[in-house]
């Protein structure tokens, strides 16, 4: 898949609390919000591309660029690699107000707290989350001495950062250059690394609930299914293309199970609610599209696969598959 390199600017104002968001006015992602920017041209550094793109797009000169975040995201037909820079508008220039152009529907200064209320480009979710989280960490002073660190309850690190003779534990920040970052930003990078590490455990395919379902299907003689079948709306976890049957095995937390009422994280509630809403809408859209195409869409919730419920659940599902197959064969 081809990679598209993009540079985007997160322009800050008002002590860093507000950032500039623009609403795309064209193409298939029209109406979604994004950060101003564009493709890096041959021979340009991402910083240079960012300055050029924002001058062209908003008629402002940006300064004080600081690397903040890299988005890596697979769209259907290309991989996006987007370098995002914190920056400011050069207040000494003539043009200090960003101008909307005819490729944008809107342009808005948004406080970081309200970022999640906008509908963002699919690739921007992690970036937006990082900005929302930065809000919490922003209270940490930029440069803190060891003395100040102790005053807020943290033990200052030894020069080596560890006790003599003790084997050094692998740090999440190993291999990441944080020398140019403030304390708040370093903390944020550390949290992002922790999330990334924990997300690595969230395998999309072959999850335990999916394996349980597949085992039961095979035992019932229902084989020949396809996994994560891209050609059907919603990329069903299990699909029987010939029988036109799609099965989604949904995690209760991410997909908001109507049976077991999963919890919502206490922090960044707005962000999480928006994320969950998008997941639920996406799921509903996939089911509607499948049904329109004459498919049977079956949703199995993770909690329905618990030891005391799996027999009943899978008996129902196998029944549905068999009757739909008979119907399709008629």
Ligand X SMILES: Nc1nc2c([nH]c(=O)n2[C@H]2C[C@H](O)[C@@H](COP(=O)(O)OP(=O)(O)OP(=O)(O)O)O2)c(=O)[nH]1
- Binding-site member from 1, 15, 27, 143 for ligand X (CB under 6 A): 27
- Contact string 74-103 vs ligand X (x = CB under 6 A): ------x-x---------------------
If 0-12 CB within 10 Å is exposed, 13-18 middle and 19+ buried, where does residue 274 land?
buried
Which residues, including other chains, have CB under 8 Å from residue 105's CB and lie 6 or more apart? Answer: 23, 24, 25, 30, 31
CA distance 59 to 68: 23
Q: Nearest approach, Cβ of 15 to ligand X (angstroms)? A: 22
Q: Nearest approach, Cβ of 127 to ligand X (angstroms)? A: 7
**Residue 31 vs 258, nearer CB to ligand X:** 31
- Binding-site member from 12, 19, 20, 35 for ligand X (CB under 6 A): 35
124 binds ligand X (CB under 6 A): yes
Instruction: Give me the helices (H) in 155-243, please.
Output: 183-200, 208-219
46 binds ligand X (CB under 6 A): no
Segment near ligand X (CB under 6 A); pick from 109-117, 120-128, 191-199, 246-254: 120-128
CA angle, 271 then 273 then 277, to 5°: 120
**Residue 123 vs 286, nearer CB to ligand X:** 123
**Residue 4 vs 107, nearer CB to ligand X:** 4
Q: How many residues bind to ligand X according to rule CB under 6 A?
A: 14
- Binding-site member from 11, 19, 20, 34 for ligand X (CB under 6 A): 34
CA angle, 29 then 34 then 36, to 5°: 120
- Contact string 256-285 vs ligand X (x = CB under 6 A): ------------------------------
**Residue 86 vs 248, nearer CB to ligand X:** 86
| 132 touches 115 (CB < 8 A) | yes
How many residues are given for the chain? 330
- DSSP string covering 188-207, please? HHHHHHHHHHHHHT--SSS-
Segment near ligand X (CB under 6 A); pick from 35-43, 160-168, 216-224, 314-322: 35-43
Q: Nearest approach, Cβ of 6 to ligand X (angstroms)? A: 4
Q: E-strand spans in the chain?
A: 3-13, 18-24, 33-34, 37-39, 62-74, 79-89, 104-111, 226-227, 238-240, 245-250, 296-301
251 binds ligand X (CB under 6 A): no
121 binds ligand X (CB under 6 A): yes
If 0-12 CB within 10 Å is exposed, 13-18 middle and 19+ buried, where does residue 218 land?
exposed
37 binds ligand X (CB under 6 A): yes
- Binding-site member from 3, 30, 31, 39 for ligand X (CB under 6 A): 39
Helix (H, G, I), strand (E, B) or coil at 314: helix
- Binding-site member from 51, 60, 62, 123 for ligand X (CB under 6 A): 123
Segment near ligand X (CB under 6 A); pick from 4-12, 94-102, 162-170, 196-204: 4-12
CA distance 325 to 221: 13
Segment near ligand X (CB under 6 A); pick from 36-44, 62-70, 160-168, 201-209: 36-44
CA distance 24 to 29: 7
Contacts of ligand X in 149-168 (CB under 6 A): none
Distances (CA, A) of 151 to 23, 70, 141: 44, 34, 12
The footprint of ligand X (CB under 6 A) covers 4, 6, 8, 27, 34-35, 37-39, 80, 82, 121, 123-124
């Amino acid at each position: 898949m081809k990679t598209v390199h993009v540079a985007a600017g997160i322009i800050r104002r008002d002590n860093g609390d507000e950032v500039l968001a623009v609403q795309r006015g064209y193409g298939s992602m029209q109406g979604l919000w994004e950060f101003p920017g564009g493709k890096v041209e041959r021979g340009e550094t991402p910083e240079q591309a960012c300055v050029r793109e924002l001058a062209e797009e908003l008629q402002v000169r940006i300064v004080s660029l600081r690397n903040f975040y890299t988005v890596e995201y697979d769209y259907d037909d290309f991989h996006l690699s987007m370098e995002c820079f914190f920056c400011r508008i050069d207040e000494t220039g003539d043009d200090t107000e960003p101008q909307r152009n005819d490729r944008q529907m809107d342009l808005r200064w948004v406080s970081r707290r309200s970022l999640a209320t906008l509908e963002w480009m699919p690739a921007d979710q992690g970036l937006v989350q990082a900005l929302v989280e930065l809000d919490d960490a922003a209270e940490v002073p930029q440069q803190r001495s060891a003395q100040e660190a102790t005053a807020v309850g943290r033990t200052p690190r030894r020069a080596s950062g560890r006790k003599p003779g003790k084997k050094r534990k692998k740090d999440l920040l190993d291999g990441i250059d944080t020398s140019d970052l403030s304390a708040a930003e370093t903390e944020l990078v550390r949290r992002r690394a922790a999330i990334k590490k924990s997300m690595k455990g969230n395998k999309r395919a072959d999850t335990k609930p999916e394996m349980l379902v597949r085992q039961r299907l095979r035992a019932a003689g229902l084989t020949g299914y396809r996994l994560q079948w891209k050609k059907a709306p919603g990329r069903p976890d299990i699909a029987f293309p010939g029988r036109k049957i799609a099965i989604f095995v949904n995690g209760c937390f991410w997909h908001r199970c109507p049976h077991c009422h999963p919890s919502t994280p206490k922090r960044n509630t707005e962000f999480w609610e928006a994320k969950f809403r998008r997941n639920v809408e996406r799921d509903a859209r996939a089911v509607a599209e499948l049904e329109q195409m004459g498919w049977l869409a079956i949703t199995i919730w993770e909690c329905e696969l618990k030891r005391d419920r799996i027999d009943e659940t899978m008996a129902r599902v196998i029944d549905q598959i068999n009757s739909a197959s008979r119907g399709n064969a008629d």
